[in-house]
Amino acid sequence: MRTLYLARHGEAAGDLTPGGREQALLLAARLAGVPLAAVHHSPVARAAQTAAIVAASLELPLRQSDLLADYPPYLPLASELPKAFAPVALAHLADYSDERRSGGPTLGTEVLAQFATPDERQDLLITHSQIVCWFVRAALGAPEWRWLGLDAANGGLTIIQYREHWPASLVAFNDQAHLPPELRWTGIPEERRAVY
């Protein structure tokens, strides 16, 4: 069985903010004792900085992967989307540059082929909200467009297990129990934040 731990990078304004660095340290503390093989990360600075803090805290190797970069992993047609959601979703996708949109679907297929497979490893992926949500969508067998409308908070932890001859198991999504209330839900628009 493979257990994959995924986390969105810490809060950032270009580079990590002080809160983002604290989120990374708390994520590392949460994962202390987990027999991780490596920390894989996006090449984008905010993810690379988060990964460096976590890897240093846990004394793990760092592995950069373009497959974990900041891109839309699937570009739906308007006809695939619920009618009321289509304008919002398509406006969100328009925020991505043409370059990021054009390569996204290929990378989206490749990232699942690389990491969403059963084996004996336990790895941590530090990436971006849409990539975390893409893995969740795939684990649940939801339509490809369904990564849209999900949000992963900065420093939130998602855990998925992969076993041979068994569907993927979503163990946790966006778990922020390791973060104090003031560091939870960052990176998610105010109107979509949960309060607890």
Count CB neighbours of 56 within 10 A.
Answer: 14
| CATH number of the structural domain 9-69 | 3.40.50.1240
H/E run at residue 118: none
29 phi and psi, to 5 degrees? -60, -40
Do 40 and 123 form a contact (C-beta atoms < 8 A)?
A: yes
In whole angstroms, give the CA distance from residue 125 to residue 36. 11
Angle of helix 129-140 versus helix 98-115 axis, rounded to 10 = 50
Domain boundaries, given as residue ranges, for the chain? 9-69, 71-118+133-152
Residue showing tokens 């369904």: 146
Per-residue pLDDT of the chain (196 residues; tens, 9 = 90+): 999 999 999 999 999 999 999 999 999 999 999 999 999 999 999 999 999 999 999 999 999 999 999 999 999 999 999 999 999 999 999 999 999 999 999 999 999 999 999 988 999 999 999 999 999 999 999 999 999 999 999 999 999 999 999 999 999 999 999 999 999 999 998 888 876 5
